Amino acid sequence: MSERLTLITGRTRKQAVGMHKGKDSPEYREATALVEMNPEDMARLKIEDGGKALLRTAEGEVELTAHAGSLPAGLVFVPMGTLVNKLIGTETLGTGMPSFKGQTVDVAAVTEREDAS
Amino acid sequence: MSTVVEHVTCPFCGCLCDDLTVEAEGVEIRKVRLACSSGQGIFMDYDPRPRRPLVDGREVEWENAVAEAASILSAADSPLIYGLSSSASEAQRKAVALADRIGAVIDSTSSVCHGPTGLAMQAVGEPTCTLGEVRDRADLLVFWGCNPDASHLRHFPRFSLTAKGALTPNGRADRTVYVVDVRPTGSSKKADHFLQVDVGSDFEVLTTLRLLVKGKEPSVDTVGGVPVAQLKELVERMKSCRYGVAFMGMGLTMAPARQLNVAELFTLVAELNEFAKFSVLPMRGHGNVTGADQVLSWTTGYPFAVSFARGYPQFSPGEFSAVDMLARRAADAAVIIASDPGAHFPAAAAAHLERIPTIVLDHGPSVVASHARVVFPTAAYGVDAAGTAYRMDNVPIPLKRVISTGRLTDEEILDRIIEAVA
Protein backbone atom coordinates (compact mmCIF):
# COMPACT_ATOMS: atom_id res chain seq x y z
CA MET A 1 0.00 0.00 0.00
CA SER A 2 1.24 3.46 -0.86
CA GLU A 3 -0.32 6.86 -0.41
CA ARG A 4 0.20 10.17 -2.13
CA LEU A 5 1.43 12.72 0.39
CA THR A 6 3.02 16.18 0.15
CA LEU A 7 6.79 16.57 0.42
CA ILE A 8 8.63 19.53 1.88
CA THR A 9 12.41 19.76 2.18
CA GLY A 10 14.51 22.05 4.34
CA ARG A 11 17.53 22.78 6.48
CA THR A 12 18.20 20.96 9.74
CA ARG A 13 20.96 21.57 12.26
CA LYS A 14 22.43 18.11 11.66
CA GLN A 15 22.36 18.58 7.88
CA ALA A 16 24.39 21.78 8.20
CA VAL A 17 26.92 20.18 10.55
CA GLY A 18 27.19 17.10 8.31
CA MET A 19 27.79 19.31 5.27
CA HIS A 20 31.00 20.65 6.85
CA LYS A 21 32.20 17.11 7.51
CA GLY A 22 31.75 16.33 3.82
CA LYS A 23 28.85 15.04 1.75
CA ASP A 24 30.43 11.57 1.77
CA SER A 25 30.65 11.60 5.60
CA PRO A 26 28.51 9.35 7.84
CA GLU A 27 27.22 12.50 9.57
CA TYR A 28 25.84 13.96 6.32
CA ARG A 29 24.42 10.63 5.19
CA GLU A 30 22.68 10.10 8.52
CA ALA A 31 21.36 13.67 8.58
CA THR A 32 19.88 13.55 5.07
CA ALA A 33 18.70 9.92 4.76
CA LEU A 34 15.59 10.40 6.87
CA VAL A 35 11.97 11.30 6.44
CA GLU A 36 9.88 12.84 9.19
CA MET A 37 6.21 11.81 9.10
CA ASN A 38 2.91 12.20 10.87
CA PRO A 39 2.51 9.22 13.28
CA GLU A 40 -1.01 8.40 12.05
CA ASP A 41 0.17 8.37 8.42
CA MET A 42 2.96 6.01 9.48
CA ALA A 43 0.56 3.67 11.30
CA ARG A 44 -1.82 3.55 8.33
CA LEU A 45 1.05 2.83 5.92
CA LYS A 46 2.56 0.29 8.37
CA ILE A 47 5.83 2.22 8.53
CA GLU A 48 7.56 1.76 11.87
CA ASP A 49 9.42 4.51 13.69
CA GLY A 50 13.01 3.91 12.60
CA GLY A 51 11.87 1.67 9.74
CA LYS A 52 12.42 2.22 6.03
CA ALA A 53 10.05 4.17 3.81
CA LEU A 54 10.11 4.30 0.03
CA LEU A 55 9.40 7.73 -1.47
CA ARG A 56 8.67 7.92 -5.19
CA THR A 57 7.91 10.69 -7.66
CA ALA A 58 8.01 10.85 -11.46
CA GLU A 59 11.66 11.90 -11.07
CA GLY A 60 12.89 8.93 -9.07
CA GLU A 61 12.71 7.03 -5.82
CA VAL A 62 14.67 6.85 -2.62
CA GLU A 63 14.61 4.80 0.57
CA LEU A 64 14.79 6.77 3.78
CA THR A 65 14.61 6.05 7.50
CA ALA A 66 11.21 7.13 8.80
CA HIS A 67 10.79 9.02 12.05
CA ALA A 68 7.56 10.08 13.72
CA GLY A 69 7.41 13.86 13.97
CA SER A 70 4.98 16.63 14.77
CA LEU A 71 3.87 17.06 11.18
CA PRO A 72 0.26 17.52 10.14
CA ALA A 73 -1.34 14.53 8.42
CA GLY A 74 -0.43 14.22 4.76
CA LEU A 75 2.89 16.08 5.03
CA VAL A 76 6.37 14.55 4.99
CA PHE A 77 9.65 16.41 5.65
CA VAL A 78 13.07 15.38 4.30
CA PRO A 79 16.27 17.37 5.02
CA MET A 80 17.74 19.04 1.97
CA GLY A 81 20.51 17.12 0.22
CA THR A 82 21.53 14.73 -2.50
CA LEU A 83 19.00 12.02 -1.61
CA VAL A 84 15.79 14.03 -1.61
CA ASN A 85 16.89 15.82 -4.77
CA LYS A 86 16.34 12.55 -6.64
CA LEU A 87 12.62 13.22 -6.06
CA ILE A 88 12.51 16.90 -7.05
CA GLY A 89 11.51 17.87 -10.59
CA THR A 90 13.18 20.59 -12.65
CA GLU A 91 10.03 22.60 -13.47
CA THR A 92 10.47 26.10 -12.05
CA LEU A 93 7.27 27.76 -13.32
CA GLY A 94 9.31 30.54 -14.91
CA THR A 95 11.02 31.55 -11.66
CA GLY A 96 14.20 29.47 -11.51
CA MET A 97 12.94 27.81 -8.32
CA PRO A 98 12.05 24.07 -8.38
CA SER A 99 9.30 22.70 -6.13
CA PHE A 100 11.46 21.94 -3.11
CA LYS A 101 8.31 22.36 -1.03
CA GLY A 102 4.86 21.14 -1.98
CA GLN A 103 5.61 18.37 -4.46
CA THR A 104 3.41 15.27 -4.22
CA VAL A 105 5.16 12.01 -3.39
CA ASP A 106 4.06 8.37 -3.15
CA VAL A 107 5.08 6.89 0.20
CA ALA A 108 5.14 3.20 1.15
CA ALA A 109 6.79 0.90 3.64
CA VAL A 110 9.86 -0.73 2.11
CA THR A 111 9.00 -4.20 3.38
CA GLU A 112 5.75 -4.14 1.42
CA ARG A 113 7.58 -3.45 -1.82
CA GLU A 114 9.85 -6.40 -1.13
CA ASP A 115 6.84 -8.61 -0.42
CA ALA A 116 5.23 -7.59 -3.69
CA SER A 117 8.33 -8.29 -5.79
CA MET B 1 53.03 30.16 16.42
CA SER B 2 49.72 30.58 18.20
CA THR B 3 47.42 33.45 17.32
CA VAL B 4 44.17 34.78 18.70
CA VAL B 5 41.99 36.84 16.36
CA GLU B 6 39.04 38.73 17.81
CA HIS B 7 35.96 40.25 16.19
CA VAL B 8 36.01 37.57 13.51
CA THR B 9 33.07 37.33 11.11
CA CYS B 10 31.55 33.90 10.51
CA PRO B 11 30.90 33.51 6.75
CA PHE B 12 28.40 30.63 7.01
CA CYS B 13 24.95 32.22 6.94
CA GLY B 14 23.33 35.58 6.27
CA CYS B 15 23.65 36.61 9.93
CA LEU B 16 27.42 37.14 9.43
CA CYS B 17 27.99 37.12 13.20
CA ASP B 18 31.06 39.35 13.66
CA ASP B 19 31.85 38.73 17.31
CA LEU B 20 33.77 35.45 17.13
CA THR B 21 37.21 34.78 18.57
CA VAL B 22 39.40 32.27 16.73
CA GLU B 23 42.50 30.65 18.17
CA ALA B 24 44.98 29.03 15.79
CA GLU B 25 48.32 27.27 15.96
CA GLY B 26 49.97 28.05 12.64
CA VAL B 27 47.35 27.09 10.06
CA GLU B 28 45.50 24.75 12.43
CA ILE B 29 42.41 26.32 13.98
CA ARG B 30 42.16 25.11 17.57
CA LYS B 31 39.18 26.90 19.03
CA VAL B 32 36.29 29.12 17.98
CA ARG B 33 34.33 31.07 20.58
CA LEU B 34 30.69 32.17 20.18
CA ALA B 35 30.08 30.47 16.81
CA CYS B 36 26.95 28.31 16.47
CA SER B 37 27.27 24.64 15.47
CA SER B 38 27.04 25.57 11.77
CA GLY B 39 29.68 28.26 12.12
CA GLN B 40 31.98 26.01 14.17
CA GLY B 41 32.16 23.64 11.19
CA ILE B 42 33.33 26.38 8.82
CA PHE B 43 36.44 26.88 10.97
CA MET B 44 37.03 23.64 12.85
CA ASP B 45 36.48 21.32 9.86
CA TYR B 46 38.60 23.48 7.53
CA ASP B 47 41.40 21.55 5.86
CA PRO B 48 44.33 23.98 5.49
CA ARG B 49 46.67 21.60 3.69
CA PRO B 50 48.09 22.92 0.41
CA ARG B 51 46.40 21.50 -2.66
CA ARG B 52 47.12 21.74 -6.34
CA PRO B 53 44.60 22.20 -9.14
CA LEU B 54 43.19 19.15 -10.89
CA VAL B 55 42.46 18.52 -14.55
CA ASP B 56 40.51 15.33 -15.15
CA GLY B 57 41.36 14.28 -11.59
CA ARG B 58 45.13 14.65 -12.04
CA GLU B 59 47.22 17.28 -10.24
CA VAL B 60 48.63 19.90 -12.60
CA GLU B 61 50.47 23.20 -12.44
CA TRP B 62 48.36 26.34 -11.97
CA GLU B 63 49.13 27.67 -15.45
CA ASN B 64 48.02 24.39 -17.01
CA ALA B 65 44.72 24.45 -15.11
CA VAL B 66 44.12 28.08 -16.10
CA ALA B 67 44.92 27.24 -19.73
CA GLU B 68 42.51 24.29 -19.68
CA ALA B 69 39.74 26.42 -18.15
CA ALA B 70 40.32 29.15 -20.73
CA SER B 71 40.29 26.59 -23.54
CA ILE B 72 36.95 25.16 -22.33
CA LEU B 73 35.36 28.59 -22.02
CA SER B 74 36.72 29.87 -25.34
CA ALA B 75 35.24 26.85 -27.13
CA ALA B 76 31.84 27.03 -25.41
CA ASP B 77 28.81 28.51 -27.16
CA SER B 78 26.67 28.80 -24.04
CA PRO B 79 28.70 28.79 -20.84
CA LEU B 80 27.03 29.05 -17.42
CA ILE B 81 28.64 30.70 -14.40
CA TYR B 82 26.90 29.69 -11.17
CA GLY B 83 27.26 29.87 -7.40
CA LEU B 84 28.87 32.96 -5.84
CA SER B 85 27.05 32.98 -2.52
CA SER B 86 29.92 31.67 -0.37
CA SER B 87 32.43 33.88 -2.13
CA ALA B 88 33.31 37.52 -1.44
CA SER B 89 31.86 40.45 -3.32
CA GLU B 90 35.30 41.26 -4.76
CA ALA B 91 35.22 37.86 -6.49
CA GLN B 92 31.56 38.23 -7.46
CA ARG B 93 32.52 41.32 -9.46
CA LYS B 94 35.19 39.30 -11.26
CA ALA B 95 32.65 36.59 -12.05
CA VAL B 96 30.40 39.17 -13.71
CA ALA B 97 33.42 40.47 -15.64
CA LEU B 98 34.14 36.92 -16.85
CA ALA B 99 30.50 36.45 -17.87
CA ASP B 100 30.64 39.71 -19.80
CA ARG B 101 33.91 38.70 -21.47
CA ILE B 102 32.78 35.25 -22.66
CA GLY B 103 29.07 35.95 -23.24
CA ALA B 104 27.97 33.64 -20.44
CA VAL B 105 24.82 33.25 -18.41
CA ILE B 106 25.51 34.09 -14.77
CA ASP B 107 23.28 32.97 -11.91
CA SER B 108 23.71 32.67 -8.15
CA THR B 109 22.26 30.34 -5.55
CA SER B 110 19.60 33.03 -5.09
CA SER B 111 17.65 31.36 -7.87
CA VAL B 112 17.05 28.32 -5.61
CA CYS B 113 16.74 30.43 -2.45
CA HIS B 114 15.30 33.95 -2.45
CA GLY B 115 15.09 34.40 -6.23
CA PRO B 116 11.30 34.66 -5.93
CA THR B 117 11.85 37.30 -3.22
CA GLY B 118 13.85 39.31 -5.75
CA LEU B 119 10.97 39.04 -8.21
CA ALA B 120 8.56 40.25 -5.53
CA MET B 121 10.84 43.20 -4.70
CA GLN B 122 10.84 44.20 -8.36
CA ALA B 123 7.05 44.02 -8.42
CA VAL B 124 6.03 45.74 -5.17
CA GLY B 125 9.18 47.15 -3.51
CA GLU B 126 10.80 46.21 -0.24
CA PRO B 127 9.88 47.86 3.10
CA THR B 128 13.26 47.03 4.63
CA CYS B 129 15.34 47.82 7.71
CA THR B 130 18.58 46.76 9.36
CA LEU B 131 18.99 44.10 12.01
CA GLY B 132 20.20 46.81 14.39
CA GLU B 133 16.77 48.45 14.15
CA VAL B 134 15.15 45.10 14.88
CA ARG B 135 17.29 44.54 17.96
CA ASP B 136 16.79 48.06 19.31
CA ARG B 137 13.15 48.76 18.48
CA ALA B 138 11.02 45.81 17.43
CA ASP B 139 8.28 44.76 19.84
CA LEU B 140 6.42 42.49 17.39
CA LEU B 141 8.17 39.81 15.34
CA VAL B 142 6.48 37.60 12.76
CA PHE B 143 8.53 34.70 11.35
CA TRP B 144 6.75 33.40 8.22
CA GLY B 145 7.87 30.20 6.52
CA CYS B 146 11.27 30.24 8.14
CA ASN B 147 12.92 28.35 10.98
CA PRO B 148 15.90 30.29 12.33
CA ASP B 149 16.18 27.75 15.14
CA ALA B 150 17.59 25.33 12.52
CA SER B 151 18.98 27.63 9.83
CA HIS B 152 20.25 30.84 11.50
CA LEU B 153 21.12 29.71 14.98
CA ARG B 154 22.24 33.04 16.47
CA HIS B 155 19.56 35.19 14.84
CA PHE B 156 17.31 34.92 17.89
CA PRO B 157 19.91 35.96 20.50
CA ARG B 158 21.81 38.53 18.42
CA PHE B 159 19.07 40.32 16.53
CA SER B 160 15.52 39.29 17.22
CA LEU B 161 13.79 37.03 19.73
CA THR B 162 15.85 37.54 22.89
CA ALA B 163 18.19 40.36 21.82
CA LYS B 164 18.30 43.32 24.17
CA GLY B 165 18.41 46.80 22.62
CA ALA B 166 17.85 50.48 23.32
CA LEU B 167 14.04 50.25 23.45
CA THR B 168 13.95 46.54 24.26
CA PRO B 169 16.08 46.36 27.44
CA ASN B 170 14.29 43.25 28.66
CA GLY B 171 14.84 41.30 25.43
CA ARG B 172 12.30 38.50 25.07
CA ALA B 173 9.91 40.05 27.61
CA ASP B 174 9.66 43.19 25.46
CA ARG B 175 8.52 41.35 22.34
CA THR B 176 5.50 39.47 21.07
CA VAL B 177 6.51 36.72 18.67
CA TYR B 178 4.47 34.92 16.02
CA VAL B 179 5.56 31.99 13.86
CA VAL B 180 3.52 31.10 10.79
CA ASP B 181 4.43 27.79 9.16
CA VAL B 182 3.00 24.55 7.77
CA ARG B 183 4.43 22.48 10.65
CA PRO B 184 5.58 23.02 14.21
CA THR B 185 9.33 23.74 14.36
CA GLY B 186 11.99 24.60 16.89
CA SER B 187 11.19 28.24 16.17
CA SER B 188 7.45 27.86 16.69
CA LYS B 189 8.09 26.31 20.10
CA LYS B 190 9.84 29.54 21.13
CA ALA B 191 7.04 31.81 19.87
CA ASP B 192 4.10 33.24 21.78
CA HIS B 193 1.70 32.34 18.98
CA PHE B 194 1.92 29.69 16.26
CA LEU B 195 -0.37 29.83 13.25
CA GLN B 196 -0.30 26.55 11.32
CA VAL B 197 -1.12 27.15 7.67
CA ASP B 198 -2.16 24.41 5.24
CA VAL B 199 0.53 23.68 2.64
CA GLY B 200 0.09 25.99 -0.34
CA SER B 201 -2.28 28.36 1.46
CA ASP B 202 0.09 31.15 2.48
CA PHE B 203 -1.17 33.46 -0.26
CA GLU B 204 -4.79 33.13 0.85
CA VAL B 205 -3.87 33.76 4.49
CA LEU B 206 -1.80 36.83 3.57
CA THR B 207 -4.59 38.19 1.39
CA THR B 208 -7.02 37.73 4.28
CA LEU B 209 -4.68 39.66 6.58
CA ARG B 210 -4.64 42.52 4.04
CA LEU B 211 -8.44 42.40 3.96
CA LEU B 212 -8.61 42.61 7.74
CA VAL B 213 -6.09 45.47 7.87
CA LYS B 214 -8.46 47.41 5.59
CA GLY B 215 -11.28 46.74 8.04
CA LYS B 216 -13.21 44.34 5.80
CA GLU B 217 -14.86 41.18 7.04
CA PRO B 218 -14.17 37.82 5.32
CA SER B 219 -17.22 35.63 4.67
CA VAL B 220 -15.57 32.49 6.07
CA ASP B 221 -14.47 31.37 9.53
CA THR B 222 -11.22 29.69 8.52
CA VAL B 223 -8.64 30.47 5.82
CA GLY B 224 -5.85 28.05 4.88
CA GLY B 225 -6.43 26.11 8.09
CA VAL B 226 -6.20 29.19 10.33
CA PRO B 227 -9.29 30.49 12.20
CA VAL B 228 -10.11 34.05 11.11
CA ALA B 229 -10.35 34.98 14.81
CA GLN B 230 -6.62 34.27 15.16
CA LEU B 231 -5.87 36.36 12.06
CA LYS B 232 -7.91 39.24 13.52
CA GLU B 233 -5.88 39.07 16.73
CA LEU B 234 -2.64 39.18 14.71
CA VAL B 235 -3.87 42.17 12.70
CA GLU B 236 -4.76 44.06 15.87
CA ARG B 237 -1.26 43.45 17.21
CA MET B 238 0.26 44.49 13.88
CA LYS B 239 -1.68 47.75 13.77
CA SER B 240 -1.00 48.68 17.40
CA CYS B 241 2.67 47.67 17.80
CA ARG B 242 5.50 50.20 18.21
CA TYR B 243 7.62 48.55 15.54
CA GLY B 244 6.84 45.28 13.81
CA VAL B 245 9.20 43.22 11.67
CA ALA B 246 8.34 40.22 9.52
CA PHE B 247 11.03 37.70 8.57
CA MET B 248 10.33 35.34 5.70
CA GLY B 249 11.99 32.27 4.26
CA MET B 250 11.81 29.31 1.93
CA GLY B 251 8.34 28.41 3.19
CA LEU B 252 7.13 31.21 0.91
CA THR B 253 9.69 31.12 -1.92
CA MET B 254 9.73 27.36 -2.54
CA ALA B 255 6.02 26.73 -2.04
CA PRO B 256 3.35 27.00 -4.71
CA ALA B 257 2.83 30.66 -5.78
CA ARG B 258 6.46 31.47 -4.86
CA GLN B 259 7.01 35.18 -5.64
CA LEU B 260 3.29 35.91 -5.34
CA ASN B 261 3.40 34.79 -1.70
CA VAL B 262 6.33 37.11 -1.05
CA ALA B 263 4.78 40.05 -2.90
CA GLU B 264 1.62 39.63 -0.84
CA LEU B 265 3.60 39.72 2.42
CA PHE B 266 5.65 42.74 1.28
CA THR B 267 2.43 44.54 0.28
CA LEU B 268 0.84 43.71 3.64
CA VAL B 269 3.88 45.15 5.42
CA ALA B 270 3.84 48.30 3.28
CA GLU B 271 0.12 48.79 4.01
CA LEU B 272 0.65 48.30 7.74
CA ASN B 273 2.78 51.46 7.75
CA GLU B 274 -0.46 53.45 7.67
CA PHE B 275 -0.91 52.29 11.27
CA ALA B 276 2.52 51.40 12.70
CA LYS B 277 6.16 51.27 11.71
CA PHE B 278 6.62 47.87 10.02
CA SER B 279 9.42 46.24 7.99
CA VAL B 280 10.22 42.90 6.40
CA LEU B 281 13.51 41.05 5.90
CA PRO B 282 14.24 37.88 3.96
CA MET B 283 16.21 35.27 5.95
CA ARG B 284 19.13 34.95 3.56
CA GLY B 285 20.90 31.60 3.73
CA HIS B 286 24.49 31.55 2.48
CA GLY B 287 26.98 33.99 3.99
CA ASN B 288 27.19 36.28 0.97
CA VAL B 289 24.18 35.38 -1.15
CA THR B 290 22.94 38.90 -0.42
CA GLY B 291 26.20 40.19 -1.88
CA ALA B 292 25.63 38.16 -5.04
CA ASP B 293 22.29 39.95 -5.50
CA GLN B 294 23.93 43.30 -4.74
CA VAL B 295 26.86 42.86 -7.11
CA LEU B 296 24.77 41.51 -9.98
CA SER B 297 22.31 44.36 -9.49
CA TRP B 298 25.04 47.06 -9.50
CA THR B 299 26.80 45.65 -12.49
CA THR B 300 23.96 44.31 -14.67
CA GLY B 301 20.78 45.85 -13.27
CA TYR B 302 19.39 42.43 -12.33
CA PRO B 303 19.86 40.27 -9.21
CA PHE B 304 20.24 36.77 -10.78
CA ALA B 305 19.57 34.77 -13.97
CA VAL B 306 21.44 37.19 -16.25
CA SER B 307 22.66 36.38 -19.77
CA PHE B 308 25.47 38.20 -21.58
CA ALA B 309 24.99 36.07 -24.72
CA ARG B 310 23.98 39.09 -26.79
CA GLY B 311 26.75 41.28 -25.42
CA TYR B 312 24.52 43.12 -22.95
CA PRO B 313 22.74 41.90 -19.82
CA GLN B 314 19.31 40.29 -20.19
CA PHE B 315 17.23 39.04 -17.24
CA SER B 316 15.02 36.00 -17.56
CA PRO B 317 14.33 33.74 -14.59
CA GLY B 318 12.99 30.42 -15.80
CA GLU B 319 15.27 30.75 -18.82
CA PHE B 320 18.67 31.96 -17.59
CA SER B 321 18.34 30.49 -14.08
CA ALA B 322 20.77 27.61 -13.56
CA VAL B 323 18.28 24.79 -12.94
CA ASP B 324 16.44 25.69 -16.15
CA MET B 325 19.66 26.09 -18.17
CA LEU B 326 20.83 22.65 -17.06
CA ALA B 327 17.47 20.88 -17.26
CA ARG B 328 17.01 21.81 -20.91
CA ARG B 329 20.71 21.17 -21.61
CA ALA B 330 21.25 24.74 -22.75
CA ALA B 331 24.67 25.10 -21.10
CA ASP B 332 27.67 23.53 -22.84
CA ALA B 333 30.25 24.44 -20.19
CA ALA B 334 30.03 25.63 -16.59
CA VAL B 335 32.04 27.54 -14.01
CA ILE B 336 30.88 26.72 -10.49
CA ILE B 337 32.11 29.11 -7.83
CA ALA B 338 31.90 28.29 -4.11
CA SER B 339 28.72 26.24 -4.26
CA ASP B 340 27.58 22.68 -4.83
CA PRO B 341 24.72 22.35 -7.31
CA GLY B 342 25.71 18.67 -7.52
CA ALA B 343 24.16 18.28 -4.08
CA HIS B 344 21.49 20.97 -4.04
CA PHE B 345 19.87 20.87 -7.48
CA PRO B 346 17.20 18.44 -8.61
CA ALA B 347 19.10 15.34 -9.74
CA ALA B 348 18.11 15.71 -13.40
CA ALA B 349 19.56 19.24 -13.51
CA ALA B 350 22.71 18.27 -11.61
CA ALA B 351 23.25 15.36 -14.01
CA HIS B 352 23.86 17.75 -16.92
CA LEU B 353 26.92 19.09 -15.09
CA GLU B 354 28.42 15.62 -15.53
CA ARG B 355 27.86 15.77 -19.31
CA ILE B 356 29.54 19.12 -19.92
CA PRO B 357 33.05 20.34 -19.08
CA THR B 358 32.80 21.93 -15.65
CA ILE B 359 35.30 24.18 -13.90
CA VAL B 360 35.00 24.36 -10.11
CA LEU B 361 36.46 26.95 -7.72
CA ASP B 362 36.01 25.80 -4.12
CA HIS B 363 37.95 25.55 -0.90
CA GLY B 364 36.90 21.99 -0.18
CA PRO B 365 35.56 18.85 -1.78
CA SER B 366 32.03 18.84 -3.21
CA VAL B 367 29.78 16.62 -5.27
CA VAL B 368 30.16 18.85 -8.32
CA ALA B 369 33.96 18.95 -7.94
CA SER B 370 34.12 15.15 -7.90
CA HIS B 371 33.31 14.97 -11.62
CA ALA B 372 34.62 18.37 -12.78
CA ARG B 373 37.08 18.73 -15.67
CA VAL B 374 39.06 21.42 -13.81
CA VAL B 375 39.15 21.99 -10.04
CA PHE B 376 40.82 25.05 -8.53
CA PRO B 377 41.36 24.67 -4.77
CA THR B 378 40.83 28.12 -3.30
CA ALA B 379 41.14 29.94 -0.03
CA ALA B 380 37.91 30.28 1.97
CA TYR B 381 36.80 33.86 2.47
CA GLY B 382 36.56 34.52 6.19
CA VAL B 383 39.03 31.75 7.03
CA ASP B 384 42.24 32.11 4.98
CA ALA B 385 41.19 35.08 2.84
CA ALA B 386 39.80 38.52 3.59
CA GLY B 387 36.94 40.09 1.67
CA THR B 388 33.53 41.69 1.89
CA ALA B 389 30.16 40.04 2.43
CA TYR B 390 26.64 41.46 2.73
CA ARG B 391 24.53 40.55 5.74
CA MET B 392 20.91 39.58 5.15
CA ASP B 393 19.89 43.21 5.80
CA ASN B 394 22.24 44.41 3.02
CA VAL B 395 24.87 45.77 5.43
CA PRO B 396 28.40 45.05 4.13
CA ILE B 397 30.60 43.31 6.72
CA PRO B 398 34.35 42.67 6.39
CA LEU B 399 35.49 39.04 6.44
CA LYS B 400 38.85 38.53 8.13
CA ARG B 401 41.70 36.19 7.28
CA VAL B 402 42.32 34.23 10.48
CA ILE B 403 45.00 31.84 9.15
CA SER B 404 47.52 32.29 6.33
CA THR B 405 47.76 29.33 3.97
CA GLY B 406 48.94 31.15 0.85
CA ARG B 407 46.06 29.72 -1.16
CA LEU B 408 44.76 31.78 -4.05
CA THR B 409 41.34 33.43 -3.74
CA ASP B 410 38.38 33.12 -6.12
CA GLU B 411 39.16 36.68 -7.20
CA GLU B 412 42.78 35.89 -8.09
CA ILE B 413 41.87 32.73 -10.01
CA LEU B 414 39.06 34.46 -11.91
CA ASP B 415 41.52 37.24 -12.82
CA ARG B 416 43.87 34.66 -14.32
CA ILE B 417 41.06 33.00 -16.28
CA ILE B 418 39.81 36.35 -17.60
CA GLU B 419 43.33 37.17 -18.75
CA ALA B 420 43.70 33.78 -20.42
CA VAL B 421 40.41 33.89 -22.36
CA ALA B 422 41.04 37.42 -23.60
Domains within chain B, CATH numbers bracketed: 52-111+287-379+407-421 (3.40.50.740), 115-282 (3.40.228.10)
Percent of chain B with pLDDT over 70: 100
Write the single-letter amino acid at B152.
H
Write the single-letter amino acid at B85.
S
Q: What is residue B136's predicted lDDT score, i.e. its pLDDT? A: 98
- B321 near A CB under 8 A: yes
Q: Beta partners for B247? A: B143, B281
Given an 8 Å threshold on Cβ–Cβ distance, is A89 in contact with B251? no
Q: What is the 3-state secondary structure (H, E, C) of B231-299?
A: HHHHHHHHHHCCEEEEEECHHHHCCCCHHHHHHHHHHHHHHHCCCCEEEEEECCCECCHHHHHHHHHHH
Q: What is residue A117's predicted lDDT score, i.e. its pLDDT? A: 44
**Nearest-CA neighbor of B99 among B295, B374, B380?**
B295
The residues in B 68-97 lying below 8 A from A, measured between CB atoms, are none
pLDDT higher than 60, residue A112: no
Give the whole-angstrom CA distance, residue B381 versus residue B399: 7
Q: What is the pLDDT of residues B374-408, one digit of tens each?
A: 999 999 999 999 999 999 999 999 999 999 999 99
Query: Exposure pattern of B272-290 as b/e (b: 16+ CB <10 Å)?
Result: beeebbbbbbbbbbbbbbb
Q: Which residues of chain A does B259 touch, with a Cβ-Cβ cutoff of 8 Å?
A: 95
Q: Which residues of chain A does B340 touch, with a Cβ-Cβ cutoff of 8 Å?
A: 23
pLDDT, chain B, mean = 97
The number of domains in chain A is 1
Q: What is residue A114's predicted lDDT score, i.e. its pLDDT? A: 54
Look up the CATH number of the domain holding residue A71: 2.40.40.20
Judge contact between B125 and B173, C-beta under 8 A: no
Which residue segment(s) compose the domain that A93 sits in? 2-116
State the nearest Cα–Cα gap between A69 and chain B, in angstroms.
Answer: 9
Which helix (H) or strand (E) is B387 found in, with range? strand B387-390
Q: What is the pLDDT of residues A64-103, one digit of tens each?
A: 999 999 999 999 999 999 999 999 999 999 999 999 999 9
Percent of chain B with pLDDT over 90: 100
Three-state SS at B226: strand
Q: Which residues of chain B does A81 touch, with a Cβ-Cβ cutoff of 8 Å?
A: 343-344
- Site from A24, A87, A97 to mutate, B interface, most B CB atoms within 10 angstroms: A97
Residues in chain A: 117
Q: What is residue A116's predicted lDDT score, i.e. its pLDDT? A: 47
| pTM of the complete model | 0.96
**How confident is the prediction along chain B (422 residues), in pLDDT tens digits per residue?**
899 999 999 999 999 999 999 999 999 999 999 999 999 999 999 999 999 999 999 999 999 999 999 999 999 999 999 999 999 999 999 999 999 999 999 999 999 999 999 999 999 999 999 999 999 999 999 999 999 999 999 999 999 999 999 999 999 999 999 999 999 999 999 999 999 999 999 999 999 999 999 999 999 999 999 999 999 999 999 999 999 999 999 999 999 999 999 999 999 999 999 999 999 999 999 999 999 999 999 999 999 999 999 999 999 999 999 999 999 999 999 999 999 999 999 999 999 999 999 999 999 999 999 999 999 999 999 999 999 999 999 999 999 999 999 999 999 999 999 999 97
Q: Which residues of chain B does A26 touch, with a Cβ-Cβ cutoff of 8 Å?
A: none
